[in-house]
Structure 1
Amino acid sequence: MTSAAAAIPLLITRPAGKADYLLAALDEAGTGYLYQPLITTAQVTISPHDVQQLQQADAIVFVSVSAVSCLQQQLDGALLKAPLYAVGQTTASALQRWLGREVSVPDDQRSEGLLTLPKLQQVAGKQIVVVRGNAGRELIKQGLTARGASVRYVQSYKRLPLPLDGALLCQQWQLAGIRCIVATSNEILQQLFTLVGPEHMHWLQSCDWILVSPRMRDSALALGISDDKIRLAENANDSALLAAISQQLREYQ
């Protein structure tokens, strides 16, 4: 999908359904981009045991909008009585729309930020459920377990790579004049390199990148992207991404 603008300096890789506001804002600003999601999500059926754990929890943590939406489609929200926590504001807003209750969300919208919330400091003996996808980070569980909590996962969705022709896509990106790639998760970053293969790796390494965490920066460096090619957005929400994109585009003028 291409924006109407002629110049196309940006490649946006956010998953489908999570990029609508960002793309609309770029359209409104007349910013050229290509949009190519690399990963899709599929609902995972929760078990009666999952439902029981959610009902008995002392706190429930949601790590993403997909975690919320895929649970909402198969669970009566009235069953969730425990205090609610979200890693990011977009996830918190989705929870509030569904359940109409207060959601605690950190200013630093990452797992590291969640662990700094005052309400999650004294959790010894508490039952905490983390609603997430497949193969997510272990930091939240490790941090809360170290404080004496019992942490269980409920998987409401799984992430799947889209079946794409990486060599063809990379050729299209180069012909379009892509200069900067926006990636919002390590999974997307790694998938890009897997998708294009060794023959196009140098081109990816030559691009500028907008990433969303120091952990992603470390992964990018390990993939051969030089530090001066990396710009970190404050976090993964749309306003932070737009601010980072605006800063990057000013450098191209």
Structure 2
Amino acid sequence: MTGWRLLLTRPADESAALARVLAEARVFSSSLPLLDIEPIAVSATIREVICSLDRYCAVIVVSKPAARIAVDLIKQFWSQPPVPRWFSVGAATAQILEANGLEVSFPVDGDDSEALLELPRLREAIAGPDPQVLIMRGEGGRELLAERLRELGASVEYLELYRRGLPQYPPATLPERIEAEHLNGLVVSSGQGFEHLHRLAGDAWPVMARLPLFVPSPRVAELARAAGAQTVVDCRGASAAALLTALREHPVPVF
């Protein structure tokens, strides 16, 4: 895999962690964070939901930022960890929750909404009368999860804990980085990450659209193809392991 030269676009700390794993696999990467995570101020609504977590049959945490903010809030308002069944979309998010005393279930064969929805323990959690599910996330995000849960008879609420902003860069920063470092692949971890990539590319997007684009889910893949991305690789998850598997299975482009 030494021929890959990837642009990483996650928040700075996540890109740094991913870059270390890629380096061990002898994959070159360059980080240009396209998401700033800004926690939402704790409102009366957020406080009320956090203080009543035990009324939900399932609490689903869809991202690492949501997990970090959630455990901080739980420490503020609970003397002991609350007892609903906890779920996450991927192992990395689960690790944050587990490190803070929560028992978490997550799919081991794919870290996306589709894999989570097939998890027997989640199906069991919502099988009772009047199941109520809470999804912790950033502003906007995974709608498929809530739609499918409602189809299965659950009542679903969102608790939005942060918003994602686009860091400020001088014009042409993105295409200049790709050209200067001879990058041949792009990695995004969410739909909003792709939207920021597309926006920052500007007039250079038709050229960048020819580069392989590694995405975490079918939803993001569809978004990218609709915008004109020519080679979209669905990693079926946002983890480093999922990306490495996709890199092994996809040939390095020759330009």
State the TM-score bracket (shorter-chain normalisation): 0.7 to 0.9
Identity, % of aligned positions: 28
2:113 aligns with one of 111, 114, 129:
111
Matched residue type, 1:38: L
The aligned runs of 1:3-152 (5 Å cut-off) are: 9-46=5-42, 47-76=46-75, 78-99=80-101, 101-106=102-107, 107-121=109-123, 122-152=127-157
Residue of structure 2 in register with 1:156 after alignment: 161
1:239 aligns with one of 238, 241, 245:
241
Note closer, same or farther for the CA distance 1:192–1:251 as it changes in structure 2 (3 Å cut): closer
Please say which of residues 78-87 and 18-27 is displaced more in the overlay.
Answer: 18-27
Residue of structure 2 in register with 1:185 after alignment: 190
SS at match of 1:73: helix
SS at match of 1:75: helix
Residue of structure 1 in register with 2:221 after alignment: 217
> In 1, distance between residues paired with 2:155 and 2:25?
47
2:172 aligns with one of 167, 172, 176:
167
Aligned residues of 1:22 and 1:238 also touching (Cα < 8 A): yes
Note closer, same or farther for the CA distance 1:49–1:11 as it changes in structure 2 (3 Å cut): same
2:200 aligns with one of 195, 203, 217:
195
Structure 2: gaps (5+ residues): none
Q: Provide Cα deviations, 1:120-172, integer angstroms capped at 9, x if missing partner.
A: 33154022211111011222222222222222212222211111224133123
Q: Shift of the alpha carbon at 1:16?
A: 2.2
> In 2, distance between residues paired with 1:123 and 1:113?
21
Please say which of residues 175-184 and 23-32 is displaced more in the overlay.
Answer: 23-32
Please say which of residues 119-128 and 155-164 is displaced more in the overlay.
Answer: 119-128
> In 1, distance between residues paired with 2:173 and 2:159?
37
Aligned residues of 1:10 and 1:181 also touching (Cα < 8 A): yes
> In 2, distance between residues paired with 1:223 and 1:86?
29
> In 2, distance between residues paired with 1:222 and 1:250?
23
Matched residue type, 2:183: I
Note closer, same or farther for the CA distance 1:234–1:65 as it changes in structure 2 (3 Å cut): same
Aligned residues of 1:127 and 1:150 also touching (Cα < 8 A): yes
Aligned residues of 2:18 and 2:240 also touching (Cα < 8 A): yes
> In 1, distance between residues paired with 2:167 and 2:106?
31
SS at match of 1:19: helix
> In 2, distance between residues paired with 1:29 and 1:139?
33
Matched residue type, 1:161: L
Q: Shift of the alpha carbon at 1:29?
A: 3.9
Q: Shift of the alpha carbon at 1:250?
A: 5.2
* Cα RMSD after superposing both structures: 2.4
Please say which of residues 38-47 and 63-72 is displaced more in the overlay.
Answer: 38-47
SS at match of 2:68: helix
> In 2, distance between residues paired with 1:25 and 1:128?
34
Q: Provide Cα deviations, 1:187-241, integer angstroms capped at 9, x if missing partner.
A: 11111111121x2111211212222222222222111122xx2223242111111
Q: Shift of the alpha carbon at 1:109?
A: 1.6
Q: Shift of the alpha carbon at 1:36?
A: 0.8
Q: Shift of the alpha carbon at 1:178?
A: 1.4
Note closer, same or farther for the CA distance 1:79–1:172 as it changes in structure 2 (3 Å cut): closer
Q: Provide Cα deviations, 1:87-122, integer angstroms capped at 9, x if missing partner.
A: 1111111111112x4311123321122222223331
> In 2, distance between residues paired with 1:139 and 1:171?
36
Aligned residues of 2:4 and 2:185 also touching (Cα < 8 A): no
Structure 1: gaps (5+ residues): none
Q: How many residues align?
A: 244
